[in-house]
Chain A
Amino acid sequence: DAGVTQSPTHLIKTRGQQVTLRCSPKSGHDTVSWYQQALGQGPQFIFQYYEEEERQRGNFPDRFSGHQFPNYSSELNVNALLLGDSALYLCASSFWGVGYTFGSGTRLTVV
């Protein structure tokens, strides 16, 4: 049984560019949450998707947007990248808030 799969594992982007990160949830999970983890910090909640809609959102600007597909997979899009967006982006899938499974993350470096 595959867990949560994130792609790509690493990428480097230039300031001002746009990036799309992808996440496939664990089988049986219908909710996907995205987190940003800056170096030396705890993960910060970006937003959560359920039934293809954004259900909750953390304190992140509109440059951060997402999407969930009918198969529950999800994308995180970040526009107009800033140096401060450099971080590890984690995807977690869950079912009813009890069993969160995390992917290995995507390491984004903005130069």
Chain B
Amino acid sequence: EVQLVQSGGGFVQPGGSLKLSCEASGFSFSNYEMHWVRQPPGKGLEWVSYISSSGSTSYYTDAVRGRFTISRDNAKNSLYLQMNSLRAEDTAVYYCVRDGVFFLYWGQGTLVTVSS
């Protein structure tokens, strides 16, 4: 069974940093592209970032480019999102998601709240 178990969310002040983690199991993690998708409270889904299966290629939405960094450790079956210079508008539930051009498997989501 494919599982994506997330951790690392929480409360942070504006300008602060937070690192999200997503541990994968039930499939060969190193063979799959991964993404982060977020959803502000009461609002729609927003694609955040992509990373290739090897970790050599990544892409970001304009709103987070230069502040967020996606990475992975295939030896640990884990995906990460380092979030720096956080803003109130980054407040959202963050999901790690498996696959390339469509999203079949989703993590349980983790809430990040940015507030003073």
Q: Do A and B come from one complex?
A: no
B-side residues, CB < 8 A to A, are none
